[in-house]
Amino acid sequence: MAMVSKVIVVEGKSDKKKLQEVLSEPVHIICTNGTMGISKLDAMLEELIGHKVYIMTDADKAGKTIRSWFKRHLSESRHIYIDPKYCEVGRCPNDYLAKVLMKHEFEVKDGNIAHEHQAVFAWQSAW
């Protein structure tokens, strides 16, 4: 059994599902269900202690509010941001999400990595 050392906090089930499609390593994903408060954070703290905690919320007002809770009450958490053009984690293309997660040292499934060198090669061969 693999030891889970990383935790990603997301807003909803669609975000969790999207991350599960992309990640190849065991990561505990916690949903806030779009809200945050001191009582919810207190309930989460036990699960978060001793883990690397990443916050990956949507690029909207609710996401910013959740991030602010973690910045204030769990300052050692790391924040992963998505491009605002996608707005929601659950709407990000898998290859984009894979690149973002790889920048934060997550292991992703091979099928989600865009092979940019193939696109460059195809472009060069047209000359």
CATH assignment at residue 31: 3.40.1360.10
Q: How far apart are CA 59 and CA 14, in angstroms?
A: 15
Q: What is the pTM of this model?
A: 0.83
Note the pLDDT tens digit of each residue in 45-59: 877 888 999 999 999
Does residue 123 have a pLDDT over 60?
no
74 inside domain: yes
Confidence category of residue 122, pLDDT binned at 50, 70, 90? very low
127 inside domain: no
95 inside domain: yes
21 inside domain: yes
The average confidence (pLDDT) of the chain is 85
Domain range for 91 is: 6-122
85 inside domain: yes
Does residue 97 have a pLDDT over 90?
yes
Note the pLDDT tens digit of each residue in 11-38: 999 999 999 999 999 999 999 987 777 7
48 inside domain: yes
1 inside domain: no
What residues contact 57, with CB distance under 8 A and at least 6 apart?
A: 9, 10, 11, 32, 63, 64, 66, 67, 89
Does residue 103 have a pLDDT over 60?
yes
Q: How far apart are CA 107 and CA 93, in angstroms?
A: 17
- Total of domains in the chain: 1
